[in-house]
Amino acid sequence: MKYVALAASVLIVMVGCSSEPSSPSGTLPVVQNLTVDETASKGDTVVLHWNPLDVEVDGYHVYWSSTSPGTWHENVTEDTTLTEIAESTRYYYVKASKGLDYSSDNSNEVDTRATLITGLFTMRINDLTNGLIIYDDGEGAGTGVADSSEFHQDIYIAEANNQLYFYSGDHNPTQYPGGRHTFLCPVGVFGNVAPEAGSADWIDSVLISENNFYFGHLSNGYYIHIYVDSTFTNGADIGSIEYQTISALRLFNVL
């Protein structure tokens, strides 16, 4: 995995992993204002910034884990920013060091975790629940009548050749007039990183089956990750939905 700093003078070193995020510690001040740059973070690339200490340091140690609690990995940089290519969403914190002396405590923790929309959403063909709408900012989701021009579904469920499919909300505007366009993709080999915008992997409909995951690229530019818990004769149960609130980021959680 490659890590790239924003300034040419930066040294970044991969330094193993640890299951104990509280150590090492020392007498240096605590690093302040660790943030995720949500404007610069996009695709599978995350950009972090933090305030420099007002004492001399050798460098800053950026710790990350895909889960919390979890196994923490470490990178070292001389700068106060870090750009990294990630394989999933992550938690982060920073400590400074000078020789064998470290910050007395962790910086604030930040993360790129997608919002998990929990609850069971049952979608049924030709029913009052054949459409699914995802609320902005990951505030929730709901089912409704995709046939109605008053319901602005992002996805609807329908049958073709005796098989169940998710369709983009506007795939058939004559029958489903209120829908919004959503690109769809089976997770397949992509793991926790959705395909890049414009990729041929994004299509307007996907065959669905139980215990499988699907990506969506919404008309507002945000990405979602859908888990189909079960399927039945005329529909499917969606067990969870992840909504990535950093608009151009395509990373999703390790559950």
Mean pLDDT of the region 131-146: 95
Euclidean distance between CA atoms 101 and 120, whole angstroms: 50
201 pLDDT higher than 80: yes
Instruction: Give me the pLDDT at residue 11, please.
Output: 34
3-state secondary structure of 61: strand
Burial of 201 (0-12, 13-18, 19+ CB in 10 A): middle
Mean pLDDT of the region 107-118: 96
185 pLDDT higher than 80: yes
Cα atoms in the Cβ-side hemisphere of radius 13 Å centred on 62 = 29
Euclidean distance between CA atoms 59 and 156, whole angstroms: 51
Looking at this protein, which amino acid is placed at residue 221? G
Closest by CA to 25, choosing from 109, 98, 103, is 103
Mean of all residue pLDDT scores within the chain: 91
Determine how β-strand 45-49 pairs with β-strand 35-36: antiparallel
% of the chain exceeding 90 in pLDDT: 86
Instruction: Give me the pLDDT at residue 119, please.
Output: 87
Instruction: Give me the pLDDT at residue 117, please.
Output: 94
% of the chain exceeding 70 in pLDDT: 91
- pLDDT bracket for residue 5 (50, 70, 90): very low
Token pair 């029913």: residue: 127
As a dihedral over the C-alpha atoms of residue 79, residue 12, residue 96, residue 39, rounded to 10 degrees, the angle is 50
Protein fold of 3-111: Immunoglobulin-like (2.60.40)
Tell me the two tokens of residue 221: 């530019």
**75-104 tens-digit pLDDT:** 999 999 999 999 999 999 999 999 999 999
Mean pLDDT of the region 149-154: 97
3-state secondary structure of 23: coil
Mean pLDDT of the region 176-190: 96
- pLDDT bracket for residue 15 (50, 70, 90): very low
Q: What is the pTM of this model?
A: 0.90
How many of the other CB atoms lie within 10 Å of CB of 139?
Answer: 11
Euclidean distance between CA atoms 88 and 252, whole angstroms: 5
Q: Which regions of the chain carry the CATH code 2.60.40.10? A: 3-111
Instruction: Give me the pLDDT at residue 17, please.
Output: 52
**208-243 tens-digit pLDDT:** 999 999 999 999 999 999 999 999 999 999 999 999
SS3 content of the chain, % helix, strand, coil (to 5): 0, 45, 50
18 pLDDT higher than 60: no
